[in-house]
Amino acid sequence: MEKAVPILSIVVPVYRAGQYLPVCAASIRAQTFDRWECILVDDGSPDESGGLCDKFAAEDPRFTVIHKENGGVSAARNAGLEAARGRYVLFCDADDALAPCAFRLALEAAERRPGDLICWRMTRSEAELPAADFAGPVAETFYTAAQRRVYATTVDGHSSCNKLFEAALLKSAGVRFDPALARAEDYMFVGEYLDALFTARPGAQVCQLEAPLYYWRVNPESVTNRKTRGDRRGKVEWEPEEYRDYARRLTAEYAETRAAMNGWQGMTEADLAPQLRTYLRRFAFAVWAAGQLGEALPANFFSDGPVPELLDLLRRHRFFTPYYLLFRLRLKSLIARCYESEESGRVVLYRRLYTLTYYILFACGGKRWQQA
């Protein structure tokens, strides 16, 4: 007998997840909304994970298993996408878990706001997940097409695991994960989906449910953490011709983004912090790129416009970044070297500057700065 077509397809890439996969699967099985399928993609895992996937499928027909040769998390997610039958697609990592009311709340929001991207908060504390009978109300935050760049850089915006993707839009726009990327594959996937969404529906919005429905486990052996620790390329990978006059173009982009967010008004500190840190780091790249290309920085680069505003906002909220003090002192050479050290993976200099500048700021200000 053919299985009923599900409303929601959950794709779970599985690799060396034997310790946590049962908790993840149990959180899916415990959902109060039950018209789902879960596609477990065993990515050639050398541990007992593949056998566990088969066990879950034998116990509950809503679980299906794909066994494939190891190809990385992006290839595994793509394989799950190809097999998905639901109207919506949700991704979950095998060492994480969902609140039992997650599917219900997300789909209720999708029914209220057809055409929007529904997403929700993530938490590092499993105890913060709401219970199965949680009824709300749930506060909502909205981002327009003009604000998409800001959303993608918020604390939860870059992840693919806290969003309800429309399968039809993924298919029509050809949005897939890029297996060639060593990192930031989630960020690129979400960015491409947002591009497709706002192209198809300019008036659509990102609707973020202000409830922590996804538990993001701190697992030192996760794919993300192992990938980060092992990423030691030794050089900055970039296309020089794409970044000529970058400091001026970035200044214009910042002004547009700031205007779209009403001068950063109304953002929580948790969401504001990555905006400010990311933009200052991008201006550090602009300093580095100008040096590499032999270009002069715009007049008043350090004294007028985005850079001094970013520095003032970072100081006001005490959001720490090692670039803060280097920009305050206008140390162009050290800014460039700090960026190159961080981006290339040869992080000794970056780590030393991080420690040194943090303690200088603490010693001078007498108050602790918030570290990322």
High-pLDDT (> 90) share of the chain, %: 88
Q: Which stretch of 95-104, 134-143, 170-179, 332-341 has the lowest confidence by average pLDDT? A: 134-143
Mean pLDDT taken over the chain: 94
234 confidence band (pLDDT: 50, 70, 90): confident
pLDDT in the model for residue 367: 82
Helix, strand, coil percentages in the chain from 3-state DSSP, rounded to 5: 50, 15, 40
Is residue 272 within 8 A of residue 317, CB to CB? The reply is yes
Is residue 317 within 8 A of residue 352, CB to CB? The reply is no
Query: Of the candidates 33, 52, 32, which has an alpha carbon nearest to the alpha carbon of residue 42?
Result: 52
Which one is predicted more confidently, 225 or 285? 285
Query: Taking 60 as the threshold, does the pLDDT of residue 224 lie above it?
Result: no
If DSSP codes are grouped into helix, strand and coil, which group holds residue 166?
A: strand
366 confidence band (pLDDT: 50, 70, 90): confident
pLDDT in the model for residue 326: 98
Q: Prior bond to 137 cis, omega within 30? A: yes
pLDDT in the model for residue 365: 79
Distance CA 101, CA 122 (A): 14
High-pLDDT (> 70) share of the chain, %: 95
Query: Taking 60 as the threshold, does the pLDDT of residue 232 lie above it?
Result: no
Query: Taking 60 as the threshold, does the pLDDT of residue 25 lie above it?
Result: yes
